[in-house]
Amino acid sequence: MTESPAPAAPADPFKDSGYREAVVDLLGVIAYGELSAFERLAEDAAMAPTLEDKVAMSRMASAEFGHLEPLQDRLTELGADPAEAMKPFVAAIDGFHDHTAPADWYEGLVKAYVGDGLAADFYREVAAQLDPATRDLIIASLADVGHSEFVVERVRAAIAADPRLGGRLALWARRLMGEALSQAQRVAAERDSLADLLAGGVDRPGLDLAAIGKMFSRLTERHTERMGRLGLDA
Amino acid sequence: MTESPAPAAPADPFKDSGYREAVVDLLGVIAYGELSAFERLAEDAAMAPTLEDKVAMSRMASAEFGHLEPLQDRLTELGADPAEAMKPFVAAIDGFHDHTAPADWYEGLVKAYVGDGLAADFYREVAAQLDPATRDLIIASLADVGHSEFVVERVRAAIAADPRLGGRLALWARRLMGEALSQAQRVAAERDSLADLLAGGVDRPGLDLAAIGKMFSRLTERHTERMGRLGLDA
């Protein structure tokens, strides 16, 4: 009986400095996204109609902040400065928030649910292309910790009480989607590293155009599902 | 040899409905204090001069929120509605914050350090008069999780760079102390239960006027120490 050859150890993708840079960018954009989600949710909590709602929204904010720490630790391990890694994405993410400041409590709820859901789906798609350690870290940092059932319940009840609200919130969610896409394009145009992550490399399979198209249909489908759960037309 | 009598089981202080009410009030005021500290710190984080500072301030905010949950759970155990328990204190605590909105990042830092420190010292003094379970819960909910070293470092460095800032911040801290006392008086006047907690009851030793005087000197002493650590004249 001949011994079968030992399986080749998987090549360390971080030996490729382009890959390392792209992962630093990706963790940086996710980290700043969570930091600013924390800030905006905490701000939106001020519009809560009841103390109970204020606590629930503040809990969502705090959960976002809790996700930040492991990303920062990993950035440090990779030899990057967490603040420096976040900086390139401040303008785009702040731009998104400035253009989508909720006018009232319900717009804030929909933004929290639809916006964070979309971002999380997108980052999960990107993470699927990466080494297992990075992938697991990103997926954990996007975990919905069960707070969003609260949003669904509140939005549905409000629409039941005032059906016109449903029309307004559906328009609002479309605007959120448009702004998110326009800021994402801006980031992709400015940071080649992130576009390259999706496209793959010499040693790493990536997505061709057809696969990227499929990814976008999956994102759209899940967005439509979320809208349906809120009782809104996508 | 005669057996010594079994020690009397300590009377359950919660059988006294006045005591239970007072504890519900106390947990309610601490809980709303932490919820609003969360909100204000998150708001102040927007003024941070660097991303690193923004993360540090957001971490302090998040830590405040983390303290809220055990207080809410205990309120529920005591048969109280957490939101209802917080409500009576919203006006006084919001009043304090409205009158002490920081004009800049450094005023925010000093408020976080001096204001939270003073409140924590006060609640610890009250907790010392209570049953062990309530006392331990309150003390845990006030634990400084080591974030405030960051404040000391930032404030001292800023004063070293601009000594006039020291004078302005010392005045600011005096205003914080004045506002805190005036809102605390308002609460004490409106909620007999809390005043009674300190004064004790038939079965429970309380503080006489001399002891209350001593408590206030301890609070003032610790406030002066905190000011000294920041490099400010009390």
Over residues B205-215, the pLDDT tens digits come to 777 778 888 88
Q: Which residue has the higher pLDDT, B202 or A210?
A: A210
- Using the CB atoms, write b or e for B187-213: b if 16+ within 10 Å: beeebebbebbbeeeeebeebeeeeee
B4: confidence class by pLDDT, cuts 50, 70, 90 = low
Q: Are B89 and A51 in contact (CB under 8 A)?
A: no
Beta bridge mates, A201: A204
pLDDT of the residue at A53: 95
- How close, in Å, is residue A63 to chain B by CA atoms? 8
Cα gap A213→A219, rounded to integer Å: 10
Q: Which of A100-104, B153-157, B158-162, B195-199 has the lowest mean pLDDT?
A: B195-199
The series of mean pLDDT values per 10 residues for chain A, 234 residues long, is: 58 84 94 95 94 94 92 96 96 93 96 90 89 93 77 96 95 92 82 79 73 86 93 87
Subunit contact B42:A38, Cβ cutoff 8 A: yes
Q: What is the mean pLDDT of chain B?
A: 89
Judged against a pLDDT cut of 90, whether residue B76 lies above it is answered with yes
Query: Which site among A39, A60, A145 would you substitute to test the B interface, given the most B Cβ atoms closer than 10 Å to its Cβ?
Result: A39
| ipTM for the assembly | 0.80
Q: Give the CA distances from residue B13 to residues B31, B130, B132, in Å, rounded to whole numbers and listed in that order.
A: 22, 9, 11
* A66 interfacial to chain B (CB closer than 8 Å): yes
Please list the residues that pair with B201 across neighbouring strands.
B204
Sequence-distant (6+) residues with CB within 8 A of B199 are B206, B207
Mean of the pLDDT values across residues B79-85? 97
pLDDT of residue A73: 96
Helical ranges in chain A per DSSP H: 17-45, 51-77, 82-86, 90-99, 105-110, 116-127, 132-141, 149-161, 163-190, 192-199, 209-230
pLDDT at A192: 82
Cβ neighbour number for residue B215 with a 10 Å cutoff: 18
pLDDT at position B7: 59
What is d(CA B142, CA A81) in angstroms, rounded to the nearest whole number? 32
Q: How many angstroms separate the CA atoms of B159 and B170, rounded?
A: 11
Residue B9's CB: how many other CB atoms inside 10 A?
Answer: 6
In whole angstroms, what is the distance from residue A117 CA to residue B37 CA?
Answer: 28
Whole-number pLDDT of residue A146? 59
| Separation CA B61–CA B58 (nearest Å) | 5
Q: What is the dihedral of CA A125, A129, A132, A134, to 10 degrees?
A: -70
| pLDDT tens string B16-69 | 888 899 999 999 999 999 999 999 999 999 999 999 999 999 999 999 999 999
As a whole number of angstroms, the distance between CA A129 and CA A73 comes to: 21
Cα distance between residue B234 and residue B231, in whole Å = 9
> Token digits for A214?
């499929």
User: Residue A202's pLDDT is what?
Assistant: 65
Indicate whether B98 pLDDT > 70: yes
> Which tokens is A67 given?
């996700």
DSSP lists the bridge partners of residue B204 as B201
**Residue B188 pLDDT class (50, 70, 90 cuts):** confident
Partner residue opposite B35 with nearest CB, options A35, A55, A90: A55
Nearest CB to B61; choose among A42, A52, A68: A42
pLDDT of residue B8: 58
Give B158-174 pLDDT, tens digit per residue. Answer: 999 999 999 999 999 99
pLDDT of res. A194:
81
Phi/psi for B147 (5° steps) reads: -80, -15
Closest Cβ opposite residue A86 in set B46, B51, B83: B51
CA B165 from centre of chain? 26
Residue B15: is its pLDDT beyond 70? yes
DSSP B124-186: HHHHTTS-HHHHHHHHHHT---STTHHHHHHHHHHHHH-HHHHHHHHHHHHHHHHHHHHHHHH
Mean pLDDT along residues B226-234: 91
Question: Which of B51, B67, B84 to mutate to test binding with chain A, by most A CBs within 10 Å of its CB?
Answer: B51
Percent of chain B with pLDDT over 70: 92
